[in-house]
Amino acid sequence: MNRNRIIFYIAFGTFHLGAFIFTVMLNNDTGLLFKMVSYVPMFKWVTFAGLLMLLADAGWSFIANRNASKENAALTQELNMLKAKLFDLQEAAKKQAAIVAQKEAEK
């Protein structure tokens, strides 16, 4: 996991920790809840920011998986090319050995 992703997860975790602490504070204190009614529009935007962070993580994960599958396909292609080259070298060696054996049999 790269450094940017770790920083993003720290921010995402901090957001959720703050939301948890907020709900614990409101657990049985309705007086505090009524004091916070004027802040409800701000809470709407904070939760929207959390939703955007979730969508950003989903998009980031999709892009990372797509790049990994492209890299995997490229590595598989390279492996197949190397196997083909190795097969060609083995076939050439077999032909060379057959030619040498034939020359020795002629002597």
Q: What range does the domain containing 71 cover?
A: 3-106
- Check residue 50 and give its pLDDT: 87
**Residue 46's pLDDT band (boundaries 50, 70, 90)?**
confident
Question: For the chain, what is the domain count?
Answer: 1
- Check residue 68 and give its pLDDT: 95
User: Is the pLDDT score of 30 beyond 90?
Assistant: no
- Check residue 2 and give its pLDDT: 81
pLDDT in tens, 62-97: 999 999 999 999 999 999 999 999 999 999 998 888
Helix-then-strand count for the chain, H and E: 3, 0
pTM above 0.85, yes or no: no
What percentage of the chain reaches a pLDDT higher than 90? 36
Give me the chain's average pLDDT, please.
88
Reduced to 3 states (helix: H, G, I; strand: E, B; else coil), residue 54 is helix
79: left (phi over 0), alpha (psi -120 to 50) or beta: alpha
